[in-house]
C-alpha cells in the first residue's frame, strides 16, 4: 500500500473549503432575496459542491494517510491521532456554533445548539466530521480486511440502512439523535449514516488513486473515469429535472433537497464533485502548485474553516 499525502487530495480539499467560504460569505450575510440573479446562479449554485466534495476527500485522505498503517506497529498511534483530531474538531464545532449564532439568535437558542437540542447551520459540517472521527478509527481495520466486493456492498448497505431508518424509525422521539444519524427535516445536519456512504466511496476512490496516481497514463485514465462519471451524473440530473432545468438549478442554489438529501440534489453535487476530483487528479502536482493558496487551504483545512467563520460571522455580521 502506498502511503502519504497526495497533492491532488489537498488541492481538492482546498477547493471544497474555498467553496464553503464563498457560500458562507454570500448566504451568511445576505438573504436569497437580496442576491442578484447571477449571485444565486451560478455563483451560489457552484458552492453546493462543497460539502459533498469535502466528505469524499475526507475518505480519500483516510485511505492515503491512515489505512496503510492498519495492522502495523504504527497503527495505535495513528488511531490515537484520529481520535484526538476528533476531540479537537468537536471543540471548535462548539466554539464556532457560538460565533455563528451570537449576533442573530437569543441566548437560549445558542444554549440549545450547544446541548444538541438544536443545530447550527454553517458550522454543522464540523459536527459531522467530529462524530465521524470517533467511529471511523475503529472501522478502518475491518475495512482493510474485507474484499473490494464487500466494500462496495457496504456503501450500498449503509445508504439503504439510512433510508429505512429515516422513513420507519423515530429514534425514540429524540429529534437530535435522528438528525445525527440519518438527518431530520427540522434540522440542518449531516447524518452519519446518510452521508457515511460518501466517506466509504472516498475510501474506494482513494485506494484507486493511491495505486494509479504516480503512474502517468494510469492517473489520466483515472481522471477520465471520474470525469465520465461526473458527466453521467449531471446528465441524469438534467433528465430528472425535466423541461424546467433553470427552476431546478435555482431550487438547488436555495438548498432545496440538501437536508435530508434528495435525488436531484445528490446527482448535481456528486456530478460536480467528481468533475473537480477529475481535474485535481489530472493536474496533479503541477495544478496543486499553480493554485498553491488553494492547496494550502486544503492542507490546513481546520484552521482555514475556523478563521473564515470567525471573520464572516464574528466580524462582518457584527459590522452589518
State pLDDT tens for residues 85-121.
999 999 999 999 999 999 999 999 999 999 999 999 9
Cβ neighbours of 61 (radius 10 Å)? 22
Q: What is the mean pLDDT of the chain?
A: 96
Q: What pLDDT was estimated at residue 69?
A: 97
Average pLDDT over residues 209-228: 96
Percent of the chain with pLDDT over 90: 96
Query: Residue 236 above 70 pLDDT?
Result: yes
Query: Residue 4 above 90 pLDDT?
Result: no
Please state whether the predicted TM-score (pTM) of the whole model is above 0.85: yes
Q: 319 or 242, which is more confident?
A: 242
Query: Residue 304 above 60 pLDDT?
Result: yes
State pLDDT tens for residues 17-57.
999 999 999 999 999 999 999 999 999 999 999 999 999 99
177 pLDDT band, cuts 50/70/90, is very high
Cα-atom radius of gyration of the chain, to the nearest Å?
19
Q: What pLDDT was estimated at residue 216?
A: 86
Query: Residue 2 above 80 pLDDT?
Result: no
Cα separation, 154 vs 174, in Å, equals 27
In contact, 75 and 138? CB cutoff 8 Å: no
Q: What pLDDT was estimated at residue 217?
A: 94
Q: What pLDDT was estimated at residue 251?
A: 97
Q: What pLDDT was estimated at residue 3?
A: 54
Q: What pLDDT was estimated at residue 319?
A: 83
Query: Residue 310 above 90 pLDDT?
Result: yes
As given in the structure block, the three cell numbers for residue 26 are 454570500
Residue tagged 477529475 (cell numbers): 278
Cα separation, 40 vs 20, in Å, equals 15
259 pLDDT band, cuts 50/70/90, is very high
Cβ-proximal residues to 152 (8 Å cutoff; 6+ apart), any chain = 204
Residue tagged 452519519 (cell numbers): 192
Percent of the chain with pLDDT over 70: 99
Amino acid at each position: 500500500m502506498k502511503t502519504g499525502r497526495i497533492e491532488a487530495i489537498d488541492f481538492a480539499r482546498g477547493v471544497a473549503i474555498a467553496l464553503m467560504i464563498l457560500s458562507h460569505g454570500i448566504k451568511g450575510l445576505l438573504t436569497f432575496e437580496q442576491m442578484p440573479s447571477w449571485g444565486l446562479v451560478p455563483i451560489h449554485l457552484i458552492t453546493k459542491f462543497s460539502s459533498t466534495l469535502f466528505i469524499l476527500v475526507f475518505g480519500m485522505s483516510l485511505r492515503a494517510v491512515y489505512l496503510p498503517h492498519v495492522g502495523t506497529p504504527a497503527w495505535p498511534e495513528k488511531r490515537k491521532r484520529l481520535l484526538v483530531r476528533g476531540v479537537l474538531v468537536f471543540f471548535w464545532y462548539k466554539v464556532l456554533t457560538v460565533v455563528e449564532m451570537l449576533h442573530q439568535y437569543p441566548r437560549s437558542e445558542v444554549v440549545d445548539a450547544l446541548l444538541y437540542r438544536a443545530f447550527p447551520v454553517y458550522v454543522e459540517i464540523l459536527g459531522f466530521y467530529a462524530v465521524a472521527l470517533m467511529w471511523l478509527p475503529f472501522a478502518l481495520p475491518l475495512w482493510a480486511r474485507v474484499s473490494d466486493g464487500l466494500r462496495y456492498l457496504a456503501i450500498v448497505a449503509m445508504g439503504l440502512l439510512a433510508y429505512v431508518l429515516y422513513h420507519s424509525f423515530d429514534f425514540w422521539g429524540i429529534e437530535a439523535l435522528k438528525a445525527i444519524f440519518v438527518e431530520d427535516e427540522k434540522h440542518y445536519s449531516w447524518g452519519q449514516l446518510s452521508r457515511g456512504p460518501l466517506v466509504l466511496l472516498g475510501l474506494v476512490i482513494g485506494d484507486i488513486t493511491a495505486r494509479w496516481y504516480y503512474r502517468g497514463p494510469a492517473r489520466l485514465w483515472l481522471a477520465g473515469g471520474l470525469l465520465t462519471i461526473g458527466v453521467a451524473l449531471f446528465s441524469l440530473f438534467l433528465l430528472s429535472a425535466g423541461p424546467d432545468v433553470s427552476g431546478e438549478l435555482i431550487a438547488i442554489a436555495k438548498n432545496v433537497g440538501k437536508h435530508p438529501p434528495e435525488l436531484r440534489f445528490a446527482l448535481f453535487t456528486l456530478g460536480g464533485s467528481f468533475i473537480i476530483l477529475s481535474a485535481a487528479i489530472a493536474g496533479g502536482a503541477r495544478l496543486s502548485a499553480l493554485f498553491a493558496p488553494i492547496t494550502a487551504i486544503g492542507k490546513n483545512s481546520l484552521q482555514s474553516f475556523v478563521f473564515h467563520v470567525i471573520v464572516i460571522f464574528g466580524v462582518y455580521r457584527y459590522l452589518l
